[in-house]
Amino acid sequence: MRLACTVEYEGTMYHGFQNQTNLPTVQGQIDKALENISADASSFNYSGRTDAGVHALTQVFDFQTQVQRSDEEWLRGLNSNLPKTISIKSISEVDDDFHSRFSAKERFYSYVIYNTPNKPTFFDNFVYWDNMPLNIKKMSDCAHDLLGKHDFSSFRSSSCGSKNPIKEIKSISLEQKGSFIILNISATAFLHNMVRIIAGTLVGISKGELDISIHELLEAKDRTLAGKTLTAKGLFFLGPRYDSKIPISSPFKDIISRFDI
């Protein structure tokens, strides 16, 4: 049978989700937990590869196993063998052809900016701090121009390995909760560092550091013209959307609740 799990993690101390040789990763910790409970897991898939320092509220992974346990036994067994920075939230049986990555129809991210003159004493691992006042209306107007299907070459890292820079942004918005500005964005798929570069570009335009429109950036297909890549610690992977019934809550509402202070 094939099982799908949703997992939440703080990415601060990990070099991303995917296994890397001699480096701590979230998948590495999950692999150890599965081994410790004799799960006999194989064919491990995941919905999105997050970089070092990036967090997740609803990463999804799936694996094949012959071990028969109740959902409660799986959750208790896995979580008791995981560090406090990683928590399995749900587990459910799925069709044999389910694939966490390839079955996903849409992916959701939020980027959190802490906009205040005072440094974020208690939030430093989870936000990008900018002490200059940001114009959220200007940022929102610019963000709207990113909607739809475009060539996002100006918003990809130099190390991006994707063969196709054309992606479709399904939704994008900004909202403010006190000192927090949260960029919410969903797309069918993303290029490497795409969300962090978009966030950096919107911040740069708001502060007057960039004198270029989003339309011009899209047309230019030139990474050097866009804003800087903001720090990974402000980025949250909120999860994918599937046609199948995997328990995933409303992602943007989740991130707002975390910063409802």
Catalytic center residues = 51
Residue 178, by phi and psi: left (phi above 0), alpha (psi -120 to 50) or beta? Answer: left
| Residue pair 14/26 in contact by the 8 Å Cβ criterion | yes
CA-based nearest residue to 204, from 191, 192, 217, 193: 217
Structure tokens given for 137: 């209306």
| Residue pair 146/174 in contact by the 8 Å Cβ criterion | no
Residue 210 CA to residue 111 CA, distance in Å, equals 20
Residue 41 CA to residue 74 CA, distance in Å, equals 12
Residue 176 CA to residue 196 CA, distance in Å, equals 18
Cα-Cα end-to-end distance for the chain: 42
Residue 193, by phi and psi: left (phi above 0), alpha (psi -120 to 50) or beta? Answer: left
Fill in the amino acid letter for 38.
Answer: S
Fill in the amino acid letter for 132.
Answer: M
Residue 123 CA to residue 119 CA, distance in Å, equals 9
Give the CA dihedral 145, 150, 156, 159, nearest 10 degrees. Answer: 180
CA-based nearest residue to 149, from 133, 165, 132: 165
